Amino acid sequence: MMLRPAVTVLMLIWLIGGHWVSNAQAKADREKLLSEPGVYGTFAVFALNNEEWAKQDPATRIVRLTSLKGVVEQHREHVAIDLYLLRGLSDQGDLLFRIHAAELRETQEFLLDLKSSQFGKHLKTVGIMHGLTKQPNYVPGFPDQMKADLETISEPGQKPYAIVIPIRKSAEWWGLDQEKRAAMMQEHTAATLPYVKTVKRKLYHSSGLDDPDFITYFETSRLEDFHSLVLSLEKVQEFRYVRRFGHPIILGTVKSLDEIVELLAQ
């Protein structure tokens, strides 16, 4: 039975405004998972079956999206979940989920529940990458001034764009001794310093967990600065040892769960 428009709107307001778990608990878990080493980071890209989704009436969409919100909020007590809209900027898919977890099986449980939900039945998995956060390998040996520069606080305000780039180094890179690699990574780091305030970066180690050696994650409000950053990095010696840069490069916008729900409900 079709719902009247007023009822549909009320259901949407309830869906967007509802709370499934304690915000304090979710926030506490998130801060820990995003700041500590030894945390697993997963990037899961999905495509929405747009033809099938377009056939759903507004009331049915709300029911499907209720299941999405329920699954996300249910698992946020144990994992940190960030959402991104890829549609319109990337041909890799429509949605990206970035999940941080102390145990990778917790991410697996979330993704299984997501795919088995009423909303998940409309999703096709495009790709999944896993990495692990670690203490910096080279930064402890950098000059004190460079260490201080790396601690520069980023500019205030939202950074709406997110970019994910997998990277694989050559066998020759891993064959170099630690001193040579450290010297090249110092040059690499120096090239990034002009963009510390406008481009946030997080590094994940993937060797043994996935095909790349690293997954690099960036947030920025200035894509021109990110473009310049990449051009600068392509000029340093270390880049000669990069065998895979991207493939794919994932570009999207940072969105809250409520924003994703509202967008897909239309």
CA distance 129 to 119: 22
Structure-token match 């993937």, residue found: 206
Instruction: Compute the distance between CA of residue 107 and CA of residue 130 in angstroms, rounded to an integer.
Output: 10
Catalytic one among 87, 201, 222, 244? 201
Per the DSSP assignment, residues forming a β-bridge with 46 are: 95, 125
Tell me whether residue 201 is one of the annotated catalytic residues: yes
Joined together, the tokens standing for residue 118 give: 């009423």
Alpha carbons within 13 angstroms on the beta-carbon side of residue 53 total 20
Count CA atoms closer than 13 A to 116's CA, side-chain side.
6
Rounded Cα–Cα distance for residues 201 and 240 (Å)? 21
- List active site positions: 201
